[in-house]
Structure 1
């Protein structure tokens, strides 16, 4: 009986790790898009109506985004989504993930350099 519990825990851990890996991959894909200076400037123009972002700010944003690529996923930020995927009992590859949650995490960096 104990062995079945151990196997179940291992399967749950593997599923959880897969969810986190897929979310991190999706987040990193969005971050990589923003490593292009044009996308940073376009985001500021579209989202905040700021058409002239200074080059030193763009460089600082890119540097922070590069650092974010190497950081683990903020599990607190994504906890609700992880729980929803786990409760749905489907593979994370079959879930349509709204990118807004990724943008909210990245937006923290953009807001930091608003002025």
Structure 2
């Protein structure tokens, strides 16, 4: 279950995914298999070829894509999550969810 996001943010992510664009959605998340992890970033796109290419370009194995629902996505957690949010210049998400070291807004 997603915590810390609005219905508007979720709908904007879904819309971008449906348009075949890479979309990022970070939210609070609790999973007992990952102690200490408090957030997750879903990287989604309904065009599977674009999403698979994005995974490969970022050193991620497309075999771990979540294909079980209407919005295919890759779950980013931990250091890789922070690395990619920085690479994608998603400073607002880094600051909002207090990820990594102190980031100065651009």
More strand by share: 2
More helix by share: 1
TM-score (ref. length: structure 1): 0.28
Bigger RCO of structures 1 and 2 (CA < 8 A, at least 6 apart): 1
TM-score (ref. length: structure 2): 0.30
**Rg larger in 1 or in 2?**
1
